[in-house]
């Protein structure tokens, strides 16, 4: 074996899995039909990987929603409330993933979090006093059998016990260590069953090893793996890490008898030093992540071969692999006919990365330079784009004052209170309204030239007027235009700015059935014309209530795009920030008084190790955000929005964004962030989402009243806004209106009590 990968995308090159699953949800497809689609997709993947010449193929990476959930489900880590529904296995699984409201009962989904530093989300397993770990029949075994039957050299993979525990929630006073022995026994059983079924290698994904490891963490890791490895028998265990280096656990990893170690040499730069300084056990296989699993640029073969030469000096058996699962990149560049072939040469998606692995492996063993190596060298010697000297000069000239909004926030907030006369607990939404089939069709037809610009705009105007009326009727205080012109909050801006490239089919899974199509930051980014002004102005003209201008922030645009590798993320982000600053000032000049700059991805690229948080990220990301709004009048209110609530640990940085108002997710999480906000004296006004928009479930008014009380117990009422967790684009209209009605009514009830 000389080549492998960690995992492959599973949604289908044309998102077949998404569509089949959604049809299943709407009962237009049977469970058997959904399973058949899934099987076809798996088979197609395996054949692609095998045909590309990859020696060993991971299985178990397929999922109907999320592989962390699959692992929890396999291990029966399913809270009672879901088991009590008594649904067929597949439906129970989906109940955990997206909640369930129907004849069998009413439960919310498990909470969902970002998967390390990516835009992929995993479901957070929940352990409590009732958790009975046992191995059930779910996916893993059947997928392996299926691959074997198809003649694939398969390596079953699943999330390892340590990462599973590190990512889970523990309720009722339970903690991770309480479950370690039972988990070790269950993994031992899984390994034995897979081994009996014919698996030689088994891959356990332990990306949690790239976080900072405390002494207790390391003890837990040992407690889990000592028995597993002692009882693994003939099975070979690949301990797979990614997203960073394993500095804190390298000692553990090399002393425990793993058969293979999978290390990331792209994001985990420090792994190389670990190996060269501390050596690598001669009897282990090094699975070297040398082809970037997260970005879409071609690999520079010369550089990679030099790295491999260094690894070969230390390790006896090096298998070429990707740095992460290829889950994070699109399927193939073959489906991108609209990109200029001269540019397409610079890109490698999942399928092309398979070829890269094979070519690198060939070049590594060849006596002389292979044609593939020569072609790659030539490509990297050919400039990809023409630089924009003006924008880079502007950035070089930025001074500290350019990042500082005046007057100070407290003063501004007082001025704004007089400006807007909003009631206590002002209600608003996050921006988007349902992207119905008609809304998407309007955009698609305009794009294809099937309808005129006038017809396109007329439709959007009508939809805007309809939703502005709905918002007014519901009694919302600050309105939004609804974002009907936007396919995606990042792609939309990318398309209007200079310097981006777009794919037609470059979908990447974000969560469950939701995909994103990240733009590619190709060159220097510049704003050449107004982007959102026309829609904002049109919407504002329809109502006397304030309508929020709606922008995607610079850090999010960067983090949800495929970034350049030839310049720093800081430089790219500052270019985008300057472009957005122009847009903000334009909106203000056109009478838009509240401007929301969404930064749902701010937290995402926070380095996984604390020591790097500021120096490597926040020290430039926070200023980049500030740059966007730094020049507006004190009467203009700047909002921001984040889709999660895990920022208790960077709370000062969030306050330092210097926004006037921030909305974030709260309904799906517990109230810990609100406790933190209370304790640190957070100055930014806050709109903790009062209901979860990721599920079609309609929250009852009483439920929302209760949440508002929870909020008011911790935060001064003058500082609180009421809004949903996030935008409503993925929801259907009836549930959206019903939920918002309950939200506004709940707010009114609480206001009366105040």
* DSSP3 helix / strand / coil % (the chain, rounded to 5): 45, 15, 40
183 is in an annotated binding site: no
Residue 618 DSSP one-character state: I
Smallest distance, ligand GLN to C-beta of residue 236, A: 42
555 near ligand GLN, judged by CB under 6 A: no
643 is in an annotated binding site: yes
CA distance 324 to 7: 8
Q: What is the footprint of ligand GLN within residues 478-497 (CB under 6 A)?
A: 483, 489
Burial class (CB in 10 A: 0-12, 13-18, 19+), 676: middle
**Residues 85, 479, 520, 726: which binds ligand GLN (CB under 6 A)?**
726
**Contact of 243 with 612, CB cutoff 8 Å:** no
645 is in an annotated binding site: no
Residue 239 DSSP one-character state: E
726 is in an annotated binding site: yes
694 is catalytic: yes
Measured from the CB atom, the residue of 38 and 726 that comes closer to Zn ion is 726
Kindly write out the interface string for residues 596-615 of this chain, putting x where it contacts ligand GLN by CB under 6 A and - elsewhere. --x-x---------------
Kindly write out the interface string for residues 380-409 of this chain, putting x where it contacts Zn ion by CB under 5 A and - elsewhere. ------------------------------
Q: What is the footprint of ligand GLN within residues 339-398 (CB under 6 A)?
A: none
**Residues 118, 727, 743, 750: which binds ligand GLN (CB under 6 A)?**
727
Strands 112-114 and 285-291: unpaired
**Contact of 108 with 164, CB cutoff 8 Å:** no
Smallest distance, ligand GLN to C-beta of residue 623, A: 21
* 259-to-82, 159, 292, 321, 703 alpha-carbon distances in Å: 38, 17, 23, 16, 51
**Contact of 634 with 416, CB cutoff 8 Å:** yes
Measured from the CB atom, the residue of 235 and 430 that comes closer to ligand GLN is 430
427 near ligand GLN, judged by CB under 6 A: no
598 is in an annotated binding site: yes
Q: Which residue is nearest to ligand GLN (CB)?
A: 727
**Residue 409: Cβ within 10 Å count:** 18
Smallest distance, ligand GLN to C-beta of residue 611, A: 29
564 is in an annotated binding site: no
Measured from the CB atom, the residue of 730 and 749 that comes closer to ligand GLN is 730
Q: What is the footprint of Zn ion within residues 718-747 (CB under 5 A)?
A: 726
Residue 8 DSSP one-character state: -
CA distance 147 to 319: 21
121 near ligand GLN, judged by CB under 6 A: no
Measured from the CB atom, the residue of 274 and 643 that comes closer to ligand GLN is 643
- Catalytic member of 328, 639, 685, 694: 694
Which phi and psi (to 5°) does residue 698 adopt?
A: -95, 120
Angle at which helices 350-365 and 31-51 cross, to 10°: 30
The binder of 550, among ligand GLN, Zn ion, none, by C-beta within 5 to 8 A per type, is ligand GLN
Smallest distance, Zn ion to C-beta of residue 727, A: 6
Binding segment toward Zn ion, per CB under 5 A, in 266-274, 455-463, 594-602, 705-713: 594-602
**Residues 430, 595, 621, 708: which binds ligand GLN (CB under 6 A)?**
430
600 near Zn ion, judged by CB under 5 A: yes
643 near Zn ion, judged by CB under 5 A: yes
**Residues 119, 254, 304, 432: which binds ligand GLN (CB under 6 A)?**
432
665 is in an annotated binding site: yes
The full DSSP string for 681-732 is T--SEEEE-SS-SSS-PPPPHHHHHHHHHHHHHHS-GGGB-B--SS--TTS-
- Measured at the CA of 640, the angle between CA 638 and CA 642, to 5 degrees, comes to 175
Name which of 146, 231, 134, 161 is nearest 197 in CA terms.
146
CA distance 467 to 343: 41
The binder of 580, among Zn ion, ligand GLN, none, by C-beta within 5 to 8 A per type, is none
Query: 3-state class of 664 per DSSP?
Result: strand
601 near Zn ion, judged by CB under 5 A: no
CA distance 701 to 720: 18
Q: Which residue ranges make up the annotated binding site for 5-methyltetrahydropteroyltri-L-glutamate? A: 15-18, 114, 560, 604
By the criterion CB under 5 A, which residues form the site for Zn ion?
600, 643, 726
By the criterion CB under 6 A, which residues form the site for ligand GLN?
430-432, 483, 489, 550, 598, 600, 641, 643, 726-727, 729
Q: Which residue ranges make up the annotated binding site? A: 15-18, 114, 430-432, 483, 560, 598, 604, 641, 643, 665, 726
Instruction: Tell me the catalytic residues.
Output: 694
């Amino acid at each position: 074996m000389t080549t492998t990968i960690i995992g492959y995308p599973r949604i289908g090159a044309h998102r077949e899995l998404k569509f089949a699953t959604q049809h299943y949800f709407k009962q237009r497809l049977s469970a058997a039909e959904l399973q058949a689609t899934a099987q076809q997709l798996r088979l197609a993947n395996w054949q692609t990987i095998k045909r590309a010449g990859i020696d060993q193929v991971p299985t178990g990476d397929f999922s109907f929603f999320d592989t962390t959930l699959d692992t929890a489900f396999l291990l029966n880590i399913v809270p009672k409330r879901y088991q009590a529904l008594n649904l067929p296995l597949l439906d129970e699984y989906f109940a955990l993933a997206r909640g369930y409201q129907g004849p069998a009962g009413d439960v919310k989904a498990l909470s969902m979090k970002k998967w390390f530093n990516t835009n992929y989300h995993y479901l957070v397993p929940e352990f409590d006093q009732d958790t009975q770990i046992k191995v059930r029949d779910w996916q893993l075994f059947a997928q392996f059998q299926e691959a074997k039957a198809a003649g694939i050299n398969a390596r079953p993979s699943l999330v390892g016990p340590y990462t599973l525990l590190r990512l889970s929630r523990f309720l009722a006073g339970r903690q991770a260590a309480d479950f370690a022995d039972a988990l070790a026994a269950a993994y031992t059983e899984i390994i034995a069953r897979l081994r009996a079924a014919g698996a030689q290698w088994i891959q356990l994904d332990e990306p949690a090893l790239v976080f900072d490891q405390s002494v207790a963490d390391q003890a837990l890791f040992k407690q889990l793996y000592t028995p597993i490895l002692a009882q693994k028998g003939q099975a070979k265990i690949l301990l797979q890490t990614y997203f960073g280096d394993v500095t804190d656990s390298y000692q553990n990893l090399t002393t425990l008898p793993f058969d293979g170690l999978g290390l990331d040499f792209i994001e985990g730069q420090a792994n190389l030093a670990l190996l060269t300084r501390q050596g690598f056990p001669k009897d282990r296989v090094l699975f070297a992540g040398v082809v970037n699993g997260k970005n879409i640029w071609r690999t520079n073969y010369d550089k990679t071969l030099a790295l491999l030469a260094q690894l070969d000096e230390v390790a006896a058996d090096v298998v070429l692999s990707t740095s992460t699962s290829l889950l994070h990149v699109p399927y193939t560049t073959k489906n991108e006919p609209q990109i200029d072939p001269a540019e397409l040469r610079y890109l490698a998606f999942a399928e092309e990365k398979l070829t890269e692995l094979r070519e690198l492996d060939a070049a590594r063993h060849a006596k002389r330079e292979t044609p593939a190596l020569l072609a790659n060298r030539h490509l990297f010697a050919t400039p990809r784009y023409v630089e924009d000297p003006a924008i880079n000069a502007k950035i070089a000239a930025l001074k500290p004052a350019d990042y500082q909004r005046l007057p100070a926030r407290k003063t501004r907030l007082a001025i704004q209170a007089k400006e807007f006369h909003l009631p206590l607990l002002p209600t608003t939404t996050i921006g988007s309204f349902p992207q119905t089939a008609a809304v998407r069709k309007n955009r698609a037809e305009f794009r294809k030239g099937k309808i005129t610009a006038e017809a396109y705009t007329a439709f959007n105007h009508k939809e805007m007027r309809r939703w502005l009326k709905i918002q007014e009727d519901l009694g919302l205080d600050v309105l939004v235009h609804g974002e009907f012109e936007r396919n995606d909050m990042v792609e939309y801006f990318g398309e209007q700015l200079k310097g981006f490239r777009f794919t037609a089919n470059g979908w990447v899974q974000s969560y469950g059935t939701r995909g994103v199509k990240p733009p590619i930051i190709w060159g220097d980014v510049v704003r050449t014309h107004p982007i959102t002004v026309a829609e904002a102005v049109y919407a504002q003209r329809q109502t006397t209530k304030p309508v929020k201008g709606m922008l995607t922030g610079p850090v999010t645009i960067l983090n949800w795009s495929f970034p350049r590798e030839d310049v720093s993320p800081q430089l790219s982000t500052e270019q985008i920030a300057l472009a957005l600053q122009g847009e903000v000032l334009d909106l203000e000049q056109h009478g838009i008084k509240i401007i929301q700059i969404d930064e749902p991805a701010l937290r995402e690229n926070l380095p996984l190790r604390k020591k790097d948080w500021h120096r490597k990220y926040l020290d430039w990301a926070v200023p980049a955000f500030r740059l966007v709004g730094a020049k507006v009048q004190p009467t203009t209110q700047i909002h921001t929005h984040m889709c999660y609530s895990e920022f208790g640990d960077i709370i000062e940085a969030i306050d330092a964004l210097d926004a006037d108002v921030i909305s974030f997710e709260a309904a799906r999480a517990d109230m810990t962030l609100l406790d933190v906000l209370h304790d640190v004296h957070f100055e930014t006004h806050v709109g903790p989402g009062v209901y979860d928009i990721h599920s079609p479930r309609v929250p009852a008014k009483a439920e929302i009243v209760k949440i508002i009380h929870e909020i008011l117990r911790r935060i001064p009422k003058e500082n609180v806004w009421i809004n949903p967790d996030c935008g409503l684009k993925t929801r259907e209209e009836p549930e959206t209106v019903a939920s918002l009605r309950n939200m506004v009514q709940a707010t009114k009830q609480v206001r009366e009590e105040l």
